[in-house]
Amino acid sequence: MDATSNSETPKDTLYDEINTFFESAPPLKDGPDISRKLKEFIERNSQSTGGRGASRVVCVTSGGTTVPLEKRCVRYIDNFSSGHRGAASTEYFLKAGYSVIFLSRRGTCQPFCRSLPEDPLLECFEVSKELNVRVCQSHSEAVRTAIGEHCAAVEGGLLLKLPFTTIFEYLQILQLIAMSMKNLGTHAMFYLAAAVSDFYVPWKSMVEHKIQSSSGPLDMRLVQVPKMLSVLRKDWAPVAFCISFKLETDSKILLEKAEIALKKYNMHAVVANELLTRKEVVVVVTSSEKISVHRDKTEASADVESPLIELLAEKHSSYIEHLDS
C-alpha cells in the first residue's frame, strides 16, 4: 500500500506504465453512468453558494483496493483498511461546508453509519406479531440520526458515493473524478485515504479460470502499480489541493517516508499515521511544518478526524487565497 518507492521512475517510463495500465485494464462496467453522475454533481456544486463564495468539493478515497488473481475472480489480494478514516472524514468535510465525492471500497464503513451496530438491518429492527417492521427502542436515536443526516447530504446534492472493489476500478474512477473536478481549480481537494495496492497482476497476463491447487506451489509475478499520484498532480487536476496518506508500522521511518512522498509527488500535505495508533494521532507533514493532531480523549465519541479536517480546511483556505489573489 506504500505510495512511495526508493527507485525513481523516469517520466517517460511512468507515462508508458500508466498507459499500459489503463489500456489493459478491464473496462469499467458502469463508466458512462459514473461520468454522468459526476458531471451533474460538479455542475450543481460549482455554482457560487450565495455569500459564502464558490463551493468547495473534496474527493475522499476510502478502504483498500483488491488485486484479482484470476479474470473470473475467485481469489484476490486484499488489505486491512476498514474505511473508518474515509467515512468519518466525509462527515466532518460535510460539516465544514464541503461537497464530497466519496470513492469507497464496497462493503467498508460508510458515512453516518459509524454509530450503528455491525449488522444494522438485523440488530436495529424488529418485527411485531402483526408483521410490521419497526426500529428497536435501543437503537431508534442512532437510526434516526444516521438516516436523517445521510438523506440530507445525498438528497441535498452534497454527497456522491461511488464504490470500487479492484485496483483497476479504483484508478479508472479516480481518473474520471479528477478530470471532472479540473474546472473547480483551487476549490477542489483530494483527500486520498484509501489503501491502494502497490503490486498487481496485469489483466493481459492473468489466467481466466480459478487457479488449480493440484498444479503445485503457486509462482506468480506481480507488477508495480504505476504511481498515479504524480499524474494526478501534474495532469489530471494540477491546481487542486492534494493530501495523501502514509501508513507505516515502524514509527522510526514514518515521518521520513511521509517527507519523501510529500516531495516526490508534490503533495500539499501528507498525513502520516501508524497502524496501531491511527485512530488516536496523525501527523500532518507539509513543506514547512509537522503538526501532530490528537483525538480529544476527554470525549468518548471524539474522532481524530474532527481536528484533522478543521486543520486541512484552514490550509485549503490559505491555499485558495494565495493562488487566487
Q: Which spans of this chain sit near ligand PAZ (rule: CB under 6 A)?
A: 1-3, 81-85, 193, 195-196, 245-247, 273, 278
Short-list 169, 196, 162, 172, CA closest to 79? 196
CB of 316 to ligand PAZ, least distance (A): 18
- CA triple 180-185-189, angle to 5 deg: 75
CB of 322 to ligand PAZ, least distance (A): 27
CB of 33 to ligand PAZ, least distance (A): 26
Q: What is the C-alpha separation between 191 and 270, in angstroms, rounded?
A: 10
Q: What is the C-alpha separation between 266 and 270, in angstroms, rounded?
A: 10
Nearer to ligand PAZ, 94 or 247 (CB): 247
Nearer to ligand PAZ, 77 or 239 (CB): 77
CB of 65 to ligand PAZ, least distance (A): 10
Give, for 40, the enclosing helix (H) or strand (E): helix 31-45
> What residues have CB less than 8 Å from 58, skipping those under 6 apart?
93, 98, 99, 100, 101, 188, 189, 190, 191
Nearer to ligand PAZ, 42 or 87 (CB): 87
Nearer to ligand PAZ, 65 or 175 (CB): 65
Q: What is the C-alpha separation between 190 and 242, in angstroms, rounded?
A: 5
CB of 272 to ligand PAZ, least distance (A): 8
Nearer to ligand PAZ, 42 or 293 (CB): 293
Nearer to ligand PAZ, 83 or 226 (CB): 83
Q: What is the C-alpha separation between 217 and 156, in angstroms, rounded?
A: 53
CB of 106 to ligand PAZ, least distance (A): 14
DSSP 211: P
The three three-digit cell numbers of residue 76, written as one number: 484476490
The strand ranges marked E within 67-112 are 67-68, 76-77, 99-105
Short-list 289, 251, 298, CA closest to 270? 289
CB of 299 to ligand PAZ, least distance (A): 19
Q: Which amino acid is at 244?
A: S
CB of 214 to ligand PAZ, least distance (A): 36
> Phi and psi (nearest 5°) for 213?
-70, -20
CB of 195 to ligand PAZ, least distance (A): 4
Nearer to ligand PAZ, 45 or 61 (CB): 61
Angle of helix 84-95 versus helix 305-324 axis, rounded to 10: 60
6: helix, strand or coil: coil
Nearer to ligand PAZ, 3 or 313 (CB): 3
Nearer to ligand PAZ, 177 or 254 (CB): 254
